[in-house]
Chains A and B, each alone.
Chain A
Amino acid sequence: MLNLRLDKVSLGYGKRRVLHNIVLEAKPREMLGIIGPNGSGKSTLIRGITRVISPSSGQVFLDGQDIASMSHSDLARLMAVVPQNPVLPDPFTAFEVVLMGRTPHLGLLRHEGERDLAIVRRAMEVTKTVAFAERRIGELSGGERQRLSIARALAQEPKIMLLDEPTAHLDINYQIETLDLVRQLCLEQGLIVVATLHDLNLAAQYCDRLIMLSNGKIYCHGVPKAVINAQTIKEVYGAEVHVYPHPLNDLPATLIASEKDRHKLSQKSV
């Protein structure tokens, strides 16, 4: 079974090291969430896993193979990324952008065949982007672009899907819809999903395991209940919050309070 493993990966930009000795493992049918405050290295971790930045030490293994030894297209056939703020070229149509997901499966001389078009169509159906397939990117909303990025990632037929803040610019209905879709794909297609999330409640509800980053290091990891509590959030984020079990499923739910009520938090915290 395919697995993703990071072995003591350190990486950064130029001489500035952002992540230190990251060790993690992810398996199919599992959603792994990466949480941590701004600047803790969440997006950098995604860049390291996708080889946009090469680790200064340590290795990323896919199925036991070091990704540094794989070709770009081999890697892209296994691994798809939904970027945080995707730059999409305005004059292209939505359909053309999703079709770009087929790139790693096509050589320089091969055109998209019927099968490629069918895969793209299915990816667009699943992500509910069919309605605006022929519209130009410049005319689409942020939520629509986000779903297009997911459709494009699906069109790659990946085994691993990495999502960098997939819900960052979405309204609450699209946040739920997007993560429902990702979770469904994860389970039904046996995908490995790694997602960075800044919303702790979404992270707790949707991820099987969480890794909490603090200043480029893994602060703690485990099931949501073990990672998200008032104490870790105070230590890592420096924020006082109230965490209590979700009434429907016991998963940790993070509640915030404005300044006027914050003095009551310390008494109530679990």
Chain B
Amino acid sequence: MALELLKDVTIPKAATAYPLHWRSRVYAIVGLVVLLGVVMVVTSAIGSTHIPLATLGQVLLSKLPFIEVEPTWASSVETIILDIRLPRLLLAGLVGAALAVAGATYQGLFRNPLADPYLIGVAQGAALGAVIGFVLPVSWQAASIPLLAFAGALIAVAVVYSIAKVGKTLPMTTLILAGVALGAFLAAITSYLMIASGDKLHGIISWLLGTFSLTSWWQVTMVMPYIFVGIIIIWLHARPLNVMQLDEEQAQQLGINVERVKLILLGAATLITAAAVCFCGIIGFVGIIIPHAVRLVWGPDHRFLLPLTTLAGASFLILADTAARTVLAPTEIPVGVITAFLGAPFFLYILRQKKRAVF
């Protein structure tokens, strides 16, 4: 029997007896794409000014090429949809997708269910950068806060990485410890600056909790390329990430260039996280609950986990942000408060439903 194993492998019909569950997984992806579409349409109708879905559809159609729609709506309606709600929900979607995928990537890389996108210093670096931006003269703030947050995140991770590197290898435990230590150090500086910042404290705190108010198109176009490219790079490494769920030694013996994959995935996940936090602050919980919820329902295979996580993360954060701007309108609640408030019970519910080991 073994004799023919490597020669003339014929394809028995029963080879499909162990499916990869392609079909149900493809259905899941299609389902989440549809869900995301529905969420985007419905949430852009919701808000302080209620816009009927019919009007919304007409406004959107009128912007497509080759379609002529007679305007029957006030120009303010068009402004609300196209210049306020649409960029805001797109940014929320992008950030949700980025944080969720980065969370799934870190959990896979570290083989640790508690890993989140902020594990190795991104959040603390971004926070310090942003707070430095806040204490600068007011006229510089608009451009400098996101720039400093982005730079702070990348620099923090680069420092953690160079501390943790041993020769040509990167031990993951050392990386986590270095991240925690540097994070604490940066958080101390951030706290000091906050105490010393006086009347700017409110702005700083609402940034730290995360918010999408004041989103406009230029922010969307700024972060989109980073997040798109980063997510695609991560998706392409889904199989190596699966194999790395074995230990690193086995992954290497199965032909994975472990150190290179770690570097690429850490780099891509850090980049999209930095892009995600730089405009809207540190939104917690998305990177933990979305990947776990997806894993609980559809299993641990990263080839499906990563796309599903992307879609679910986008939908989730759009919904959370809609709640953030409507629940106490006209007051905005920081979206980070909503993600934790909605996310934690939802996650606990799923955890109760499926009590099997998922990690």
- Say yes or no: is A189 at the interface (Cβ < 8 Å to chain B): yes
B residues near A120, Cβ cutoff 8 Å: 18
Question: Are A108 and B246 in contact, CB atoms less than 8 angstroms apart?
Answer: no
Mask, A101-138, CB within 8 Å of B = 1, is 10110101100101101111111011000000110101
On chain A, the residues within 8 Å of B257 by CB distance are 71-73
Q: Is B10 an interface position by the 8 A CB rule?
A: yes
B300 to A89, Cβ gap below 8 A?
A: yes
Q: Which of A100, A136, A138, A185 contacts B254 (CB 8 A)?
A: A100
Complex Cα distance A119/B7, Å? 10
Minimum CB–CB distance from B4 to chain A (whole Å) comes to: 8
B contact residues around A136 at 8 Å (CB): 356-357
Q: 1/0 contact trace for A50-80 toward B, CB 8 Å? A: 1110000000000000000001111111011
Question: When the two chains form their complex, are residues B243 and A100 in contact, meaning their CB atoms are under 8 A apart?
Answer: yes
B25: interface (CB < 8 Å) = no
Task: Report how far A125 CA is from B343 CA in the complex, Å.
Answer: 44
Which residue of the partner chain B has the closest CB to A191? Answer: B6
Q: Is the CB of A189 within 8 A of B253?
A: no
A83–B250 touching, CB < 8 Å = yes
Q: How far is the CA of A240 from the CA of B69 in the complex (A)?
A: 97
**B284-332 contacts to A (CB < 8 Å):** 295, 299-301
B138 in the interface (beta carbon within 8 A) = no
Closest A residue to B2 by beta carbon equals A126
Residue ID in chain B nearest A103 by CB atoms: B254
Distance of A48 from chain B, by nearest CB (Å)? 12
Cβ-defined partner of B11 (8 Å) among A47, A115, A126, A134:
A115
Decide: A90 and B359 in contact? CB cutoff 8 A: yes
The chain B residue sitting closest to A189, CB to CB, is: B6
Stretch at the interface among A91-99, A199-207, A242-250, A254-262: A91-99
Instruction: List residues of A (134-149) whose CB comes within 8 Å of B's CBs.
Output: 134, 136, 138
User: Is A88's beta carbon under 8 Å from chain B?
Assistant: yes
Inter-chain contact count A-B, CB under 8 Å? Answer: 126
Q: Is the CB of B243 within 8 A of A133?
A: no
Q: Is A154 an interface residue (CB 8 A)?
A: yes
A104 and B237 alpha carbons, distance in the complex (Å)? 14
CB <8 Å contact, A189 and B2: yes
Interface presence of A165 (CB below 8 A): no
A108 contact set on B, CB distance < 8 A: 236-237, 239-240
**Restricting to B217-250, which residues have a CB under 8 Å from any CB of A?**
236-237, 239-240, 242-243, 245-247, 249-250
A118 touches B10 (CB 8 A): yes
A121, B13: Cα distance in complex, Å? 11
* Interface residues on chain B, size class: 35 or more
Option from A77, A109, A185 in Cβ contact (under 8 Å) with B255? A77
User: Which of chain B's residues has its CB closest to A152's CB?
Assistant: B254
| Contact indicator A118/B9 (Cβ below 8 Å) | yes
Count residues of chain A with CB under 8 A from any CB of chain B: 58
Please tell me if B3 contacts chain A, counting CB pairs below 8 Å: yes
A35 at the interface (CB under 8 A from B): no
Q: Find chain B residues with CB under 8 A from A50 CB.
A: 252-253
Contact (Cβ within 8 A) A100 B255: no
- Interface majority SS on B: helix, strand, loop or mixed? loop
Bound-state Cα–Cα, A185 to B1, Å: 10
**Docked complex Cα distance between A51 and B256 (Å):** 12
Complex interface: chain A residues within 8 A of B1 (CB): 125-126
Q: Complex formed: what's the CA distance from A31 to B236 in Å?
A: 39
The distance from the CB of A188 to the nearest CB of chain B, in whole angstroms, is 5
A117 touches B16 (CB 8 A): yes
State whether the Cβ of A197 lies closer than 8 Å to any Cβ in chain B.
Answer: no
Q: How many whole Å from B256's CB to the nearest CB in chain A? A: 6
A118 touches B11 (CB 8 A): yes
Contact B246 A91 (CB under 8 A): no
Contact A87 B246 (CB under 8 A): yes
CA distance A83 to B301 in the complex (A): 22
Does A40 touch B at the CB level, under 8 Å? Answer: no
- In whole angstroms, what is the CA distance A106 to B242 when docked? 13
Distance in angstroms between the alpha carbons of A126 and B5 in the assembled complex: 8
Q: Any chain A CB within 8 A of the CB of B14?
A: yes
B18 and A89 form a contact (CB under 8 A): no
Known: A96-B301, A126-B2. A75 touches B9 (CB 8 A): no
Cβ of A103 and Cβ of B14 under 8 Å apart?
no
- Cross-interface CB contact of A103 among B3, B255, B357, cutoff 8 Å: B255
Question: Are A91 and B299 in contact, CB atoms less than 8 angstroms apart?
Answer: yes
User: What 1/0 mask marks residues of chain A from 38 to 52 whose CB sits below 8 Å from any chain B CB?
Assistant: 000000000100111
- With the chains together, A125 CA to B12 CA distance in Å? 12
A90 close to B357 (CB less than 8 A): yes
Interface residue? A86 (CB, 8 A): yes
- By a CB distance below 8 angstroms, the chain A residues around B54 are none
The answer, yes or no, to whether B358 is at the interface (CB within 8 Å) is yes
> What 4 pairs across the A-B complex have the smallest Cβ distances?
A76-B255, A104-B255, A73-B255, A89-B245
**Chain A residues with a Cβ under 8 A of chain B:** 47, 50-52, 71-77, 79-81, 83, 86-93, 95-97, 99-101, 103-104, 106, 108-109, 112, 114-115, 117-123, 125-126, 133-134, 136, 138, 154, 156-157, 181, 184-185, 188-189
- Of the A-B pairs whose beta carbons lie under 8 Å apart in the complex, a sample of 12, sorted by A's number, is A86-B246, A87-B247, A91-B295, A91-B356, A92-B301, A93-B18, A96-B242, A96-B301, A106-B239, A108-B236, A119-B9, A121-B12
Q: A118-B10, A118-B12, A121-B15 are in contact. List 19 more A-B contacts (CB 8 A).
A: A86-B246, A87-B250, A89-B111, A91-B359, A92-B242, A103-B239, A103-B255, A106-B239, A118-B9, A118-B15, A121-B17, A122-B9, A133-B17, A133-B18, A136-B356, A136-B357, A188-B2, A189-B5, A189-B6
